[in-house]
A and B are shown apart, each in its own frame.
Chain A
Amino acid sequence: EGRLLESGGGLVKRGESLRLSCAASGFAFSDYAINWVRQAPGKGLEWVSSISSSSSHIYYAASVEGRFTIARDNSKNSLYLQMNGLRDEDTAVYYCMSDPKVRGDPVRGQGTLVTVSS
């Protein structure tokens, strides 16, 4: 069964940077488009960014455009989210998840918590 495992979350100060990682196992990672989705405490789901299987197509939510960078390394079965200029409103659990357009079995991580504090 395919799995994703996020890491890299933590407590940072406003304006600082953090890099999240998402390690894939048990499925053909290089065939999957992957999304980052976040959830602020007690709130709903918010799509953050998407990357296609070959990295040829990348998209961002307006709220993170210019501050966050998504990337992947298919040779390492890994996905990344570089987050710069963190703001209070970036505080959330960040999930990596397969894109619903992918026609393989869906995969999801367990989430990693990012807390931005002044």
Chain B
Amino acid sequence: DIQMTQSPSTLSTSVGDRVTITCRASESISGWLAWYQQKPGEAPKLLIYKASRLEAGVPSRFSGSGSGTDFTLTINSLQPDDFATYYCQQYITYPYTFGQGTKLDIK
């Protein structure tokens, strides 16, 4: 199985900050990476697919980059609505696997 490792696990941030979350795959997944946002009590919401493609309706302050094994989710000018947990997921092969999550806390 492909292992997905996210860092950091928790990030204390403030409104207006620029945030970077990294995700590393245990082997190359080309660009088959998705990023999800999850708020407490809600289902995960797909933000980015194919490593860098923003889903319709997702604010442009979110961006994704990377290919192969190393990927990044960047949030520019963090907004109050962005405090949530973020997960990466590879979907190049089954079993699909998720990173362990990165929780954004208010500093």
Contact = CB atoms under 8 A, between A and B. Distances in A.
A59 B98 CA distance: 16
A109 B43 contact: yes
B101 A45 contact: yes
B42 A44 contact: no
Contacts of A85: none
Interface in B23-55: 34, 36, 38, 42-46, 49, 55
A96 to B, nearest CB: 9
Given A47-B89, A59-B95, 9 more contacts: A35-B96, A44-B99, A45-B89, A47-B97, A50-B94, A50-B96, A95-B44, A108-B45, A111-B43
Q: How large is the interface on B (under 10, 10 to 19, 20 to 34, 35 or more residues)?
A: 20 to 34
B44 A100 contact: no
The 7 closest A-B pairs by CB, nearest first: A47-B96, A100-B34, A106-B46, A59-B94, A108-B43, A45-B98, A44-B101
A46 B46 contact: no
A62 B56 CA distance: 33
B95 A62 contact: yes
- Which residue among A47, A62, A99 has the maximum number of chain B CB atoms within 10 Å of its CB? A47
Interface string B56-83: 1000000000000000000000000000
Given A99-B91, A100-B34, A106-B55, A46 B43 contact: no
Contacts, number: 53
Interface of A: 35, 37, 44-47, 50, 59, 61-62, 95, 97-101, 105-106, 108-111
Contacts of A106: 45-46, 55
Nearest to B85: A44
Given A44-B100, A99-B91, A100-B89, A105 B56 contact: yes
Contacts of B100: 44
A47 B95 contact: yes
Contacts of A47: 89, 95-98
A45 B91 contact: no
A20 B104 CA distance: 32
A63 B78 CA distance: 37
